[in-house]
């Protein structure tokens, strides 16, 4: 019998094979499995002119067939315009964008709901005042122990709330109020907190103040949920730019915010609590004059793409994220509706759902994950005055 001795492969071939396996493993680990379906929760405005909305709505989306179900009202409440869901999809939190809460003037509210795992129905747990009018944004810290809210109206700009073991909200443990730098010298600007986000390393919370053209960076204590006002640092944006929403990159090294008033987006480096602006680009074509403002900024789960919604032009600006965090313009997509507000990308990175406020619809898009290009699937969900969209994956396949 002939014995064949296997030949040892060249070192470079071994290294190449290991590299391919490592890359493949990384890709597999980075990709979220495509679920059998998504539950989609939609926050709305109930008091806008001509609005027939009653509160928070829910529908289902099948990413395999591309079909959706008829929306249903799951929580009746005033102006639940922005939502956030915890990582285990057990609780949903909503702002109540009002100026009076339970007879108490000068404050809006945040409300906690329990999510029924089987049906997706919502059960109200409790409500806390935000100590400022017109709350417009909520988020959770990385540990899911603290809810953070930004108030758009003049007054307390942001507040933080401890999350109790049952998912309900404790009273605010910290509130912060911004003032114009030259308020005592006739500065007529007013603070308008538009969003608040905790950094991935849990070191700071960033409040975008659209009225003062500043990002206020507060040291954050993840154990108590409190903001440290004495250690706060201001990052000044372009004059009259009105910074609105904010998004950290998945790698924690970069961050982005859209400027509401001048149709721009700004990229930052982030390291150990310090934000450093590195680039500002337009969100609309430079060969035209546009009325309106930007609304939302979202980083794709793959960390390679970024999108910004434009109200007025009714489009999504598309960017490719470079290795140094800077942005490369990659085109625009119409949203096929009027006044696009918030939008969401599903965890698998394959779909984008855009909420068009004034046309009262949500339009679904397929994402080209290499170029960022969007293709409308033809599926449109009609919901009155939608503002915010959130997804819950159900029954992974």
Listing DSSP states for 181-245 in one string gives TTGGGT------EEEEEE-TTSSEEEEEETTTTEEEEEEEETTTTEE-STT-EEEE-STT--EEE
Percent of the chain with pLDDT over 70: 89
Q: Which of 371, 396, 354 is nearest to 40 (CA)?
A: 354
Distances 20 to 9, 13, 15, 159, 370 between C-alpha atoms, Å: 16, 11, 9, 47, 19
Q: What is the rounded CA–CA span in Å between residue 393 and residue 396?
A: 7
Are 214 and 192 within 8 A, CB to CB? no
- How much is the pLDDT for 17? 36
**pLDDT tens-digit readout, 313-322:** 999 999 999 9
pTM: 0.90
- How much is the pLDDT for 329? 98
- The tokens 């449109």 sit on which residue? 380
Confidence of residue 18 (pLDDT cuts 50, 70, 90): very low
Give me the chain's average pLDDT, please: 90
- How much is the pLDDT for 66? 94
Length of the chain: 397
Q: What is the rounded CA–CA span in Å between residue 391 and residue 34?
A: 13
Report the chain's C-alpha Rg in angstroms: 22
Q: Which of 277, 252, 176 is nearest to 220 (CA)?
A: 176
Q: At 29, phi and psi to the nearest 5? A: -70, -30
Q: In what order do the strands lie in the sheet with 174-176?
A: 135-140, 146-151, 158-162, 174-176
- How much is the pLDDT for 290? 85
């Amino acid at each position: 019998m002939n014995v064949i001795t296997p030949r040892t492969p060249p070192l470079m071939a071994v290294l190449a094979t290991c590299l391919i396996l490592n890359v493949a493993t990384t890709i597999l680990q980075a990709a979220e499995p495509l679920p059998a379906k998504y539950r989609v929760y939609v926050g709305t405005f109930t008091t806008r002119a001509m609005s027939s909305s009653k509160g928070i709505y829910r529908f289902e989306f099948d990413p395999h067939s591309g079909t959706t179900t008829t929306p249903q009202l799951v929580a009746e409440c005033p102006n639940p315009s922005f939502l956030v869901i915890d990582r285990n999809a057990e609780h949903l939190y909503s702002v109540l964008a009002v100026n009076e809460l339970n007879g108490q003037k000068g404050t809006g509210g945040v409300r906690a709901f329990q999510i029924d795992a089987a049906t997706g129905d919502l059960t109200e747990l409790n409500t806390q005042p935000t100590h400022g009018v017109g709350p417009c944004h909520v988020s959770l810290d990385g540990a899911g122990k603290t809810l953070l809210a930004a108030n758009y109206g003049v007054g307390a700009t942001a507040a933080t709330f401890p999350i109790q073991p049952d998912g309900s909200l404790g009273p605010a443990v910290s509130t912060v109020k911004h003032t114009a730098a030259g308020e005592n010298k006739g500065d007529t600007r007013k603070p308008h907190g538009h969003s608040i986000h905790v950094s991935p390393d849990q070191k700071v919370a960033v409040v975008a103040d659209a009225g003062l053209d500043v990002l206020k960076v507060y040291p954050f204590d993840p154990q108590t949920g409190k903001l440290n006002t004495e250690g706060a640092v201001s990052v000044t944006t372009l004059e009259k730019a009105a910074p609105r929403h904010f998004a950290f990159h998945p790698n924690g090294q970069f961050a982005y915010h859209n400027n509401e008033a001048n149709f721009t987006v700004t990229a930052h480096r982030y390291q150990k609590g310090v934000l450093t602006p590195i680039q500002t680009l337009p969100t609309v074509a430079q060969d035209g004059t546009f009325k309106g403002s930007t609304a939302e900024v979202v980083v794709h789960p793959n960390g390679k793409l970024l999108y910004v919604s434009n109200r007025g032009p009714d489009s999504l600006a598309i960017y490719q994220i470079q290795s140094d965090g800077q942005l490369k313009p990659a085109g625009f997509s119409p949203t096929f509706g009027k006044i696009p507000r918030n939008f969401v990308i599903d965890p698998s990175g394959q779909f984008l759902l855009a909420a068009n406020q004034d046309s009262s619809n949500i339009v679904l898009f397929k994402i080209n994950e290499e170029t960022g290009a969007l293709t409308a699937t033809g599926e449109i969900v009609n919901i009155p005055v939608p503002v915010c969209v959130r997804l819950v994956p159900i029954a992974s396949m």
